[in-house]
Structure 1
Amino acid sequence: MSDAPSTVSQRRVVALLLPAAAAMTSLYQGIQQILLPAQIEAIDATAKISNLGIAATASSVAAVIGLLAGGAISDRTWGRWGRRTPSLVVAAIVSAVLALAMGASSALGPLVFFYSALWFSANYYQGALTAILPDRISVERRGVGSAVLALAIPIGVVIGVNVAAQTSRPVAYAVLAGLFLMGMAALVLFAPEPAAPPRPRAAERLKIDVVAGVLGFVASFRSRDFALAFVSRALMFFSVFTVSGYTYYILQDHIGVEALPGRNLQHGVSTLVTIQMVLCLLSAAVGGWLADRWRRPKLFVGASAIGMAFALAVPIISPTWPAMIVLEVFLGLFFGAYLAVDLALMSLVLPDRESEGRDMAILAVATSAPQILAPLIAAAMIGLFGYPFLFVFGAATALLSGIVVFFIKSVR
């Protein structure tokens, strides 16, 4: 936690992290789940799977760079506005502008460009935002803070996919951009950071040493538990993104539009995502409280990952609309419990207190890095083996994620 005294209660900081993170998630998911696949299909329906893979891969590279930059640069920021606030404000404004530009794109080139730029700026924002957890929240309340950030995910997903499904494309992009700005504004205005004086180690911070910076990132992985947490998290999000990134096309081509209620593809996607996220919300609320009470975050994270592996086996057995509903029910329960405790566990394995923002950003890369490879892997698997193999891969990586986390020694 930052050494700077805070004039704002931790309870208020935690409460206002919720709208800031939820608005960010609504932007991500409204675009990823509905708006982007629909735009790509409208441009070239015959090449939609490969084009979605290209767009997702390009944007994910930008996202990883943005996450690292947001954490590291906000670590190096000081002044009357605090360490994280300048990054949050600039990144949110840039993201809103890019979202509007993306909504106006009708050709693949500009769409991929604006999508990648948006993912850089939004992930830069995320890198600074997640650093608030170790920066301003004490270890004793870290579980509650993690649970609030976890609750923001299902809330944001439900808002994002329903805005995207129920409104026209330009309106959806405008609403999501506006929500992003409002979430940021609520946090920085009503839970302002204390002034951040330069740290002794950062007196020469304007003279950026690129080599030293790279070595600093690599040094974090000398911590065994940090490295294991990174691997476990990366495996989990390989599982999540490989399947969820193609939900739109799974329903369209594998389950079949004629099998969906009302034969409405966009409503089918929003229904599945809403079911998962409502249950995720309930599970996260209970999971965060229990993890703080029992102080066993590793057990919660590992068991939840293994539970997700079994849930992902359901559509392999029965590729039907009811099976997809069953999948989303169990994914919601297990993923909610996972998310409620995941960030708390991550924050407890950070190796360097003075580089918490950088190290949290590195762990956040374990969320975004799979997005680089998942679209390519998914597209290849669909082409070679068909849609069912997506679920096989997802189940296997979730199971491995749960196994790896139990090898962390410093956390129960």
Structure 2
Amino acid sequence: MTSNADVTNADERLPWRLVVSLVIGPASWLLPHQGAIATLLPQKISEIDPVNKVPLVMMFSTVAMIVALFSNIALGACSDRTRTRFGKRKPWIIGCSILSCLVLLIYSRAETIPVMLAWWCVYEFVVNGVAAAIVAQLSDRVPARWRGTASSAYGLGQTIGGQAGILVAAQFLGDVTLGVEVFAAIALIGGVVSALLAGERSNLHEPVAPFSKRELVTMSMFPTRNATDFYKTLAARFLLVVGSSMVSNYMLYILQDYLGLDQAGAQRLLSVNSSITLIIGLVCCLGAGPLADRIGRPKQLAVATTGMIAVGALVPFVFPTPAGLIVFSIIVGIATGANSSLIQTISVIVLPNPEAAAKDLGFLNLANTLGGVGASFVAASVIGQFGYGAVFVAQAVVVLLSSALFYSIKRVR
């Protein structure tokens, strides 16, 4: 019937080609995305309008969230219904990767805030088509016994993309246009390689409901049956992204305005912190998924690692120095690396209907888009009222709430 049926009866060996593609795929779209949104976008905005840079970053995040909100769900649902001799995920990954590259090249030459905003929204739309199709493969094609390991691969790609994106972007603070062009090439090459390596086969034999108004409504609806843990996971992921992004979205300004570093000093520390977080995150990500497979308790591990972020957040608040921020990066690197695989494992387990995996994972990915906007809004408000130091305290409170929500999930141990 569907890919999930194939998974149920499939060879129980670990699908290595798919696992490797689950590293390359997330890294190839997230590296350009994070490098641009966390570093190059704020840098370009500060060059054009330094006075209004903080509210402008918040505005970009808000508008982009609205676009991504629609795109992730709509393109995910379209991917679920796609029937071709290349499968249902491969065409979307390759097509949207090509479009992402082209849009980034155009965006790199934008010279005004309105033009930047317009092309950034187009980019958010197409890149979410890549993201939705890649993550759905965890539900489609991975046997249950290897889900933690495959989620580690996916989380590894996320960690590489998220941290290496910032690290690479830091090298282009003096030439934002060239940096975005490099990211465009990564988006294209990585996306295509990932899709081809995954080895997805024809799904022309899979039945699909005739398209109708009722089917259109179903494609766009939140799940309603057996979905309590699904929504707890959504809320927990949302708060975790809010907490994590509150600091990362404003890291460049924190280094310059909170620690008092000049651009060269900020660039050096940004590179050091990103390298630390990347290396530690990779190690912890690789270990967390197989450990969860072995002991069968991904939820308990996620509760502990999420709580660690709260501890780490208080270090630069108490010690507002480069050393304090490095300690923060070490602790957060451990927690974020582990969470990148653990939370993906939890997300697949709580899906109410695996046949609508891309659509429902798209709804869960709302946590990323809504969380990014929520982070910008909360951080901008906290910074405006209390200064940059207070954003670390706010981060600690928010991630503790996330940890509590993960603990309340019933279907996962």
One of 48, 65, 69 as aligned partner of 1:60? 65
Look up the match of 1:251.
Answer: 255
More deviation, 168-177/394-403: 168-177
Written as runs of structure 1 = structure 2, the 5 A alignment for 1:147-296 is 147-167=152-172, 168-197=175-204, 199-200=206-207, 202-205=208-211, 209-214=215-220, 216-219=221-224, 223-257=227-261, 263-296=264-297
Distance 1:158 1:394, change over 3 A: closer
The whole-number CA distance in structure 1 between the counterparts of 2:348 and 2:365 is 11
Structure 2: gaps of 5 or more residues: none
Q: Do the aligned partners of 1:4 and 1:196 also contact (CA within 8 Å) in 2?
A: no
Q: Do the aligned partners of 2:90 and 2:196 also contact (CA within 8 Å) in 1?
A: no
Q: CA deviation at 1:92?
A: 0.7
Q: CA deviation at 1:203?
A: 2.9
- Deviations along 1:19-47, one digit per CA (max 9) or x if unpaired, are 12111121112102221011000101111
Q: CA deviation at 1:205?
A: 2.5
Look up the match of 1:125.
Answer: 130
Written as runs of structure 1 = structure 2, the 5 A alignment for 1:298-337 is 298-337=299-338
Matched to 1:109, the amino acid is P
Q: CA deviation at 1:356?
A: 1.4
The whole-number CA distance in structure 2 between the counterparts of 1:329 and 1:18 is 22
Distance 1:133 1:174, change over 3 A: same
Q: CA deviation at 1:80?
A: 0.8
Q: CA deviation at 1:3?
A: 2.9
TM-score w.r.t. structure 1 length? 0.93
Matched to 2:273, the amino acid is L
The whole-number CA distance in structure 2 between the counterparts of 1:206 and 1:300 is 43
The whole-number CA distance in structure 2 between the counterparts of 1:11 and 1:248 is 38
Q: CA deviation at 1:67?
A: 1.4
Look up the match of 2:398.
Answer: 397
Look up the match of 1:367.
Answer: 368
Structure 1: gaps of 5 or more residues: none
The whole-number CA distance in structure 2 between the counterparts of 1:229 and 1:404 is 7
Distance 1:307 1:163, change over 3 A: closer
The whole-number CA distance in structure 1 between the counterparts of 2:301 and 2:345 is 11
Written as runs of structure 1 = structure 2, the 5 A alignment for 1:25-104 is 25-104=30-109
Look up the match of 1:16.
Answer: 21
Matched to 1:186, the amino acid is V
Matched to 1:204, the amino acid is P
The whole-number CA distance in structure 2 between the counterparts of 1:330 and 1:301 is 14
Query: 3-state SS of the aligned residue for 2:5?
Result: coil
More deviation, 159-168/204-213: 204-213
Q: Percent identity?
A: 30
Q: CA deviation at 1:197?
A: 2.8
The whole-number CA distance in structure 2 between the counterparts of 1:302 and 1:9 is 27
- Deviations along 1:138-193, one digit per CA (max 9) or x if unpaired, are 11111011101111122223432333222432322122111111112112223231
Query: 3-state SS of the aligned residue for 2:76?
Result: helix
The whole-number CA distance in structure 1 between the counterparts of 2:117 and 2:94 is 24
Q: What is the RMSD of the two structures over their aligned residues, measured on CA atoms?
A: 2.0
More deviation, 66-75/328-337: 66-75
- Deviations along 1:298-321, one digit per CA (max 9) or x if unpaired, are 011111111111111112211111
